[in-house]
A = this chain, B = another copy of it.
Amino acid sequence: MEKTYLFAPGPTPIPPEVLLAMARPIIHHRTPQFQKLFRGVLEDLKYVFQTQQPVLVLASSGTGAMEAAVSNLLSPGEEVITIRGGKFGERWAEICEVYGVRSVNIDVEWGKAVDPQVVEDTLKDHPQAKAVFWQASETSTGVKHPNQELAQICQKYGVLSVVDGITAIGVFDVPMDAWGLDVVVSGSQKAFMLPPGLAFIALSEKAWARVEEAKCPRYYFDLRKELKSQSKADTAYTPAVSMIMGLRASLDIIKREGLENIFARHALLSKATREAMKALGLELLASESPSEAVTAVKVPPGVDGGAITKTLRDKYGVTIAGGQSQLKGKIFRISHMGYVSKADMLLVIGMVEVVLKELGYPLELGKGVSKAQEILFP
C-alpha cells in the first residue's frame, strides 16, 4: 500500500472538501454566479488579512504578487531597503534589481531574525529610501522577523512597509491595519490550504497613493486595473476560476476555526516540533525567533542531510523539505502550516526519528514523540 503525507512548507495538504469544490464543473467568470462567489471571497480575505483594504487576487504564484509590489510602488532609480536573511529576502532584492530600483540590503545570517536597530540605523543613513521589504516569515530558514517593531520603525521614518506574508498570513498574527503595514502579500498554497496558483496582495491607503506615481512598467500585474475590476467583483484578466471555487471552501474552513484558534494551533504545533527535536538532541536553525509556519532543524554531524528527506519520501511516503541554496544538505524543514492537526505531528516526528536512526544518528525512539505528546495533549 502506498500512502503519502505532506509536511513541506508549500504546497501544504488540501482538505478533501476543498479538492472537491475545485472538481465541480467550472463556471464562466463573467456571470452573476461567479461575481457573487468572488465578492464573498474578497470580503473574507479581508478577515484573514485583518484589513479594511481590498485584498486583490492574482492568477500567479506568490512571486507574482511580490513583483507586483515592486513594480506598482516604485520607479527606476528609487532606493529601498531589503532585509535579506534567506532565499526569499534575496528575491525581493532580485526583483528590485530587475526594475532598476536600488536596494540597500541588510544581510542577516540565515537562521537569525533582523535586529530592528540595524533597520533603524540603515533608514537614518538612507533618508531617500522609499520602502523596507522583508519576510514576515522567512520560509527558507524558519525565522520570524520582529514584524510589529519593523512596522513601527517604517512609520517613524515615513517609509512603506512591504511584507511577504506568504507563510505568515493565516499562520500567526500579522494584523495589517492594526500594525499599519502598507503592503502584505500572500499565496494560496500555504495556510490557505489550496494548490499553488493564486496570489493575494493588499495595500494601505498610503501605498495606493504611490501606485499612480510609480513608473515601473507592469501589465498583467497592474494593480490599478485589478482594483478597478475587483471592486466590482470582476477581474482584469481571466481569473483562476476553479481555484477561487476552492478558496471559497477553504475560507469557510478558516472562518469556522477562527483566526485566534488557528494562530494558537500553529503556535502549539510549532512548539511541539521544536521541543521534540531538542529532546532528540537536535539543534534548531532558528532557535531565537522561530516561525510558527515551519521548523528548520540542523542536520546532525555524521548524517547525510539529503538522505533524510529522500528516505522519508521514497521509503515512507513522508515529504518534508530540505535546505535551499547555502543551507542545502545542512537543514531539514518540517512544516506545520495549514491543514495539519496535532495527531499529524506525532506521525511526522515519529517518522523523522525512524529515519534518523536508520541513517546512523544515535537516538532513543519515541523520545521526540513523547515530548510532543506532552505538549500537544497536556
Residues of B within 8 A of A108 (CB): none
Chain B contacts for A32, CB-based, 8 A: 314
Question: Which residues between 282 and 328 of chain A lie within 8 Å of chain B, taking CB atoms?
Answer: 313-314, 319, 321
Contact B31 A13 (CB under 8 A): no
A217 near B: Cβ within 8 Å?
A: yes
A71 cross-chain contacts in B, Cβ below 8 A: 217
CB <8 Å contact, A189 and B238: yes
Q: Give the oligomeric copy count.
A: 2
**A31 adjacent to B216 (CB under 8 Å):** no
Quick one: closest B residue to A32, CB to CB?
A: B314
Residues of chain B lying within 8 A (CB to CB) of residue A239: 61, 196
CB of A217 within 8 A of CB of B220, answer no
Provide the residues of chain B in CB contact with A63, threshold 8 Å: 219-220, 237-238
The 3 closest A-B pairs by CB, nearest first: A195-B242, A197-B240, A23-B23
Closest approach, in angstroms, between the C-beta of A153 and any C-beta of chain B? 27
State A25–B27 Cα separation when bound (angstroms).
23
A23 to chain B, nearest CB (A): 4
User: Among B19, B197, B218, which residue has its beta carbon within 8 angstroms of that of A98?
Assistant: B218
Whole-angstrom distance between the Cβ of A246 and the nearest chain B Cβ: 9
Residue interface bits A54-68, CB-to-B below 8 A is 1, else 0: 000001111110010
Task: Give CA–CA (A220, B99) in the complex, Å.
Answer: 12
Q: List 14 A-B contacts (CB under 8 A).
A: A6-B26, A6-B28, A8-B30, A11-B28, A13-B26, A60-B64, A61-B238, A62-B238, A63-B237, A98-B219, A189-B241, A195-B240, A217-B217, A240-B240
CB pair B25–A219 under 8 Å, yes or no, is no
Assign chain A's interface to a size class: 35 or more
Any B CB within 8 A of the CB of A37: no
Residues of chain B within 8 A (CB-CB) of A94 are 219
Given contacts A28-B8, A241-B11, A242-B195, contact A60 B98 (CB under 8 A): no
Q: Is A10's beta carbon under 8 Å from chain B?
A: yes
- B4/A25 in contact, CB under 8 A: yes
Residues in B with CB closer than 8 Å to A241 are 11, 189, 195-196
Binary B-proximity of A237-270 (CB < 8 A = 1, otherwise 0): 1111111000000000000000000000000000
Separation of A27 and B24 alpha carbons in the complex (Å): 20
Chain B residue contacts of A61, Cβ below 8 A: 59, 220, 237-240
Interface centre among A14, A22, A195, A216 (most CB of B within 10 A): A195
Q: Are B195 and A243 in contact (CB under 8 A)?
A: yes
Closest to A245 in B: B195
Minimal beta-carbon separation of A372 from chain B (angstroms): 23
**Contact A11/B26 with A197-B59, A242-B195, A242-B197 known, Cβ cut-off 8 Å:** yes
A203 to B314, CA, bound (A): 36
The complex places the Cα of A28 from the Cα of B333 at a distance, in Å, of 14
In the assembled complex, the CB of A133 is this many whole angstroms from the nearest CB of chain B, namely: 14
Question: Once the chains bind, are A219 and B59 in contact (CB under 8 Å)?
Answer: no
